[in-house]
Structure 1
Amino acid sequence: VTGEVDGDQWNRVIPDGCVDIIFDLKTTSASKGAFVSGLMRTFELMPIMGHQSLLGIRFYSETAHLFLRNPISMINGNR
């Protein structure tokens, strides 16, 4: 769901029971190139800033630990 808040573009991300690894393909910094998004407890408003190039890998909550090697409870509600 997208919309405007105070003239800025925003994307509402709804909790879906999945864990995501998001890669920013246009970043100039390796430390900011990717992040893991744990299970969300509530929706999140994310700003849409110009042209972006993102790639996401989605895991169901039951299988995320196989790739991440840690319990997903360690990242629930966090990035």
Structure 2
Amino acid sequence: MDHGKLHRVIPDGCVDIIFDLRSTSFSQGAFVTGLMTSFETMSLTRNYSLFGIRFFADQVRQFIENPV
């Protein structure tokens, strides 16, 4: 993704696990996004190489123990 630009993330009823492939630490380079109720605007401060896995909200419990 291009750094320095604004990116709008639109709610879609899904839960995502997102990995930063350039991170040197797994614990800092992966995160879960829960259900969103409104759009988010992200300003990326550096270049990222992101990979995501998307789950429908009712299916994510099979893979993640914590509520999202």
TM category, shorter? 0.7 to 0.9
Superposition deviation, residue 28 in structure 1: 1.8
Report 1 or 2 for greater relative contact order, CA contacts < 8 Å, sequence distance ≥ 6: 2
Query: Cα deviation per residue 1:53-73 (whole Å; 9 max; x = unaligned)?
Result: 110000001101111134xxx
> 1:38: which partner in 2?
34
In 1, the alpha carbon distance for the partners of 2:26 and 2:54 equals 21
Which residue in the other structure is 1:12 paired with? 8
Runs of 4+ in structure 1 displaced over 4 angstroms?
none
2:48 to 49, 52, 60: 52
Provide structure 1 residue ranges, at least 5 long, that are not aligned to the other structure. Answer: 1-7
Select the residue among 14, 17, 22 that pairs with 1:21.
17
3-state secondary structure, aligned to 1:68: coil
CA offsets 1:26-56 (integer angstroms, 9 cap, x no match): 0122321100000011110111334321100
Q: Over aligned residue pairs, what C-alpha RMSD do you find? A: 1.4
Partner of 2:58: 62
Task: Give the count of matched residue pairs.
Answer: 65
List runs of 5+ in structure 2 lacking aligned partners: none
State the TM-score, normalized to the length of structure 2. Answer: 0.83
CA distance in 2, matches of 1:46, 1:62: 26
Q: Which amino acid aligns with 1:55?
A: F
Amino acid at match of 2:32: V
Aligned counterparts of 1:69 and 1:52: Cα–Cα separation in 2: 28
